[in-house]
Structure 1
Amino acid sequence: MPLRLLPVEKDELPELYKLNRILAAEEGQGDLFVADFGSYRRAFLGPCPLLRAHFIEIDGERAGFAIHHFKFATYTGRKVLYIEDLYLLPPFRDERTIDKLLHKLEDLMRELKCRRIELRVLDAFSLGKERFVEAGFQPVEKWRVYRKDPLSQTGFS
């Protein structure tokens, strides 16, 4: 069962947008998905693209996607591959496929000359967080994510 990561081409961006909307709904966050297609076009195809994406293909069939961007590790002076969204369609969510996918992402990290891979996952992550640990990913317990959304009612007034 060959698994490949294929860069998302310009004409495939609508499919990526649709699949990401499905991901948000499956995670119970469909109400948070407010991005319009124009914002995707600007983020992926603008003069200085913010994001890159790959479709996951298994045996010639579209099986999901990975959206990523780069961070910079100031202590090591190297790029970090940050996986923003990772999605497999339900028929492909078996342990063997997830393991192959994690290895492919590691290959991509090396190909792009990154120091490491990082990602955040919801507690209810559907691909199984234990697969990440078994593949050598470690939870980073000493860091906590803080976020401020100017559209929320919290914070300074």
Structure 2
Amino acid sequence: MSNNIQITWATENDIPTILHFIKELAKYEKLEHEAIATAESMKKNLFGDRKFAEVIFLEESSKKVGFALFFHSFSTFLGAPGLYLEDLFVLPEYRGKGYGKKLLSTLAKIAVERECGRLEWSVLDWNQPAIDLYLSMGSKPMDEWTVHRVTGEALKNLAHQTI
């Protein structure tokens, strides 16, 4: 790993860069149609009165080449907070240098400092390079769990249901 790398925290001025990384990740995951975040939504939700998530960057020679977006979760079983990694992305030309590991290691350090009981994330089942990286770092797949999601009209319908 290069000596010219550092981890930095995102600021409001980084919103265009955050959106760029999100769009590049969506392209990689073949989910471009789902990437509808805007500068306004990111400003409100990352830097507004109520911050819903945080972003760190990995920089090489002052160039942002990777990012991680994460937020707090809570484990009732542990009775402790956790960190949930929503997105991690390293630009393709910078992969293979240990930068993904550095971002994950930094998140683990943040989790320990904040007295979190766990660091969790999801990975697409076809993304073998990411799966291999995560397993090499000691992660354990939660095969017995299935993620469920409600979005769009189904979310609105659920919000208006009564007994």
Q: Same fold (TM over 0.5)?
A: yes
Q: What does the per-residue CA deviation read over 1:77-114, in whole Å, with 9 as the maximum and x for residues that have no partner?
A: 11101001100001221163333333222212212321
Which of the pair is proportionally richer in helix? 2
Looking at structure 2, the residues matched to 51 and 24 of structure 1 have their Cα atoms a distance apart, in angstroms, of 18
Partner-residue secondary structure (3-state), 1:151: helix
Shift of residue 124, structure 1, vs aligned partner: 3.1
The letter of the residue matching 2:91 is L
Partner of 2:133: 131
TM-score, normalization: structure 1?
0.87
Q: Gaps (5+ residues) in structure 2?
A: 159-163
From the superposition, tell whether residues 11 and 126 of structure 1 become closer, same or farther in structure 2 (CA, over 3 Å).
farther
Please, what is the CA RMSD of the aligned residues? 2.2
Q: Does 1:32 align with 2:14?
A: no
Distance 1:129 1:10, change over 3 A: same
1:132-152 CA distance string (max 9 Å, x none): 111011101121111122336
Scaled by the length of structure 2, the TM-score of the pair is 0.84
Partner of 1:53: 55
Match of 1:143 in 2: 145
Tell me which residue corresponds to 2:12. Answer: 10
Mean alpha-carbon deviation: is it higher for 79-88 or for 110-119? Answer: 110-119
Q: Is the 8 A contact 2:73 2:82 kept in 1?
A: yes
Taking only the aligned residue pairs, the percentage that are identical comes to: 25
- Relative to structure 1, the CA distance from residue 19 to residue 88 in structure 2 (aligned partners, 3 Å threshold; closer, same or farther) is same
8 Å contact 1:95–1:131 — kept in the other structure? no
- Counterpart of 2:75 (choices 67, 73, 76) is 73
Find the counterpart in structure 2 of residue 42 from structure 1. Answer: 44
Tell me: CA distance 1:115–1:4, structure 2 relative to 1, closer, same or farther (3 Å): farther
Equivalent position amino acid for 2:73 in 1: K
Look up the SS of the partner of 1:75 in the other structure: coil
After the TM superposition, list the runs of 4 or more consecutive aligned residues in structure 1 that deviate by more than 6 angstroms: none
Unpaired runs of at least 5, structure 1: none
SS at match of 2:84: strand
1:47, distance to aligned residue in structure 2 (A): 0.9
The alpha-carbon deviation at position 128 of structure 1 amounts to 2.3
Equivalent in the alignment of 2:101: 99
Aligned-pair CA distance for 1:126: 7.0
